[in-house]
Chains A and B, each alone.
Chain A
Amino acid sequence: MERSGKGKDVGREGGFWDRHTPFIMLLPAVLAVMIVSVYPTLRTVGMSFFDKSLLSRKEPFIGLANYAEAFGKTELWLYICNTLFFAIVSLILGVALAMYVAVKLIKPLPGKGFFRAMFLTPWVTPPLVASFTWRILFSENFSPINSILLRLGWIKTPISFLNSTDVFLGFLSVPLLMLVIINVWSIFPFLMVMFIAGLQTVPAELYEAATMDGAGKIKQFWKITVPCIRPVIAVSILLELIWQFNNFNISYMVTSGGPLGRTKLLAVEVYQQAFTNFRYGYASAVSVIMMLVAAIPAVLYVRSSVKELQ
């Protein structure tokens, strides 16, 4: 701050430490992120041009060969499709559910706080616990869902939610849809909190005026609610889209990518190539491809956030 002193401690205010305090405050976080996040990321990009694996002693530079191998495999395209489908569909369903609940939970009706707290619980449930429980809920023999359907006589034999390999539309399978359901369960609380936060800022007079003018509930939602909280919706959708694109836990913990890679997501493929097959160079290449596919929403997010600044 350039303000020179009216105060009693003039010397210190103009002092070196005081002038540079804001800069020094940035340092711990910025340096940590640079060293432990940015630098390794750049190294991974570098590693993708080398044949680095547990078996190769020499680690020769092989240019784009890792990338060529990755794109040459039909599986990679399957994983890309899986990942895009998983991220986009669970996001759409998650946003819809979160919005449905958020609109209800800002109304001043009894039970508001109770339902808010309850709906947040999936967020604090460790993904491992959630995944394992859902695995049983969707299992063939121990699932209460199958049990109910059998008792009702709607099905003759239990449904195998997570093992069916029937494919439709080229890549889609029942297990992948189940993963989407599980993921909606785990991501909607965060979206709900964001939407509630946004909805609290919409002035109630707007709705009153609209009701006077005879606008219906649905019209009010699209003409008042959505435009008012558009920034919150945009930020949470972009963030969540990127996070879900990078999702690892659910696919790895529920199905380990199976059956036959039908539910494998890119993050799981990278993890297995690197830490099960020990093909570090190839895994790096796939991870860079992954980063590039996610770059489009990422750039949009950064641009919209920076624009907000100006």
Chain B
Amino acid sequence: MKKTKKIKKVIEIVKHYLGLLVVSIFVLLPYYWMIVTAVKPTEEVMISPATLLPSRIDLSNFGKVWNFLPLGTYMKNSLIVSAVVTIVSVVFATLCGYSISRFIRRRAQKGALILMLCTQLIPGIVTMISLYFIMFNLKMNNTYQGLIIAYVVWAVPFCTLMIKGYFDAAIPKEIEESARVDGCSQFRTFFDICLPISIPGIISTAIFAFILAWNEYMWASILLSGDKLKPVSVGIYDFIGQYGANTKMALTMTAGIFITLPAMIIFGFLQKYLISGLAAGAVKG
């Protein structure tokens, strides 16, 4: 009796890890191939059918890629845009989300909430068609501002809802009420009392905004025509287009590793916050 129970338990654990292993293979397959292609010696990259492992590891691509495309400029552009977008969206979303969370009984706050819910659902491309003309008339095509303004506005609705959910679920109102009774102004209550204990929620909002800006392609490809301001996504897409998909495969993969790393490193440090930040908001719906 006891023995069969033990066997059952072992089978269960084996099944558990076997399932995770299969999913891991699916998840890691692209990364595996990215790395293998990047470190294969040049003559092996174009062998068909492909060899699954490199015969030796050749790291020369990691140096060469910087000469073939201005990856440094692209990364700098992406970093500047993503950093500004992150800061501005977090400020906007935190202010708005706090107000909605604490004063939802009022009409303006209700309206703001519905606005955020609705705009989240507008297909980006619908906005982009006329936004392009508006930006063009304001001479904002080919500028950082044009990118930043659009990304902030696309990030703000989801960020607002996320941080609102966090304030709702994780920060008890009572703390603030006692501060108010002590004569703290509304803004001080928010800034001195509520903000310092909301760091996990704010960080997860920031991650979301950063990833959105770092990964965006469509709007950047419409708005920018010069090489100087291109973010990595557009720069590398154009690089692939210029040489065809296959001839510079190894270099493209190497560039891919370089542009995936920054987001992954930031994410690696902060992912704990992301889950708890999203969790609080998500559960409230």
Q: Which residues of A contact B (CB under 8 A)?
A: 1, 3, 5-10, 12-13, 17-19, 21-23, 25-26, 28-30, 32-34, 36-38, 40-41, 43-44, 47, 97, 100-101, 104, 107, 109, 111, 115-130, 132-137, 139, 141-144, 146-148, 150-151, 158, 185, 193-194, 196-198, 200-201, 231-232, 234-236, 239, 242, 245-246, 248-249, 252-253, 267, 270-271, 274-275, 280, 283-284, 287-288, 290-291, 294, 298, 301-302, 304-306, 308-309
For A119, what are the chain B residues with a Cβ–Cβ distance below 8 Å?
23-24, 27
For A128, what are the chain B residues with a Cβ–Cβ distance below 8 Å?
215, 217, 233, 236-237, 256
Contact, CB under 8 Å: B131 / A36: yes
Interface size class of B (residues with CB under 8 A): 35 or more
Main secondary structure of the interface of B (DSSP, over half): helix
**Interface contact tally, CB-CB below 8 A:** 323
Shortest Cβ gap from A87 to chain B (Å): 12
Q: Select one of A26, A104, A116, A234 contacting B100, CB under 8 A.
A: A26
For B181, what are the chain A residues with a Cβ–Cβ distance below 8 Å?
3, 6-7
Main secondary structure of the interface of A (DSSP, over half): helix
Question: What are 11 residue pairs bridging A and B, where the CB atoms are less than 8 Å apart in the complex?
Answer: A1-B180, A22-B186, A37-B154, A111-B20, A132-B256, A137-B33, A147-B50, A185-B26, A283-B129, A294-B121, A306-B114
Q: Which residues of B contact A (CB under 8 A)?
A: 13, 16-17, 19-20, 23-24, 26-31, 33-34, 37, 45-46, 48-52, 91-93, 95-96, 98-100, 102-104, 106, 108-110, 112-134, 149-150, 152-154, 156-157, 160, 180-187, 190, 211, 214-215, 217-218, 222, 232-233, 236-237, 240, 245-246, 249, 252-253, 256, 259-260, 263-264, 267-268, 271, 274-275, 278-280, 282-285
Residue of A nearest to B49 (CB): A147
Contact, CB under 8 Å: B49 / A28: no
Q: Select one of B217, B263, B285 contacting A232, CB under 8 A.
A: B285
Shortest Cβ gap from A45 to chain B (Å): 8
Contact, CB under 8 Å: A37 / B122: yes
For A142, what are the chain B residues with a Cβ–Cβ distance below 8 Å?
45-46, 48, 50, 246, 249
Residue of B nearest to A242 (CB): B121
Residue of B nearest to A245 (CB): B123
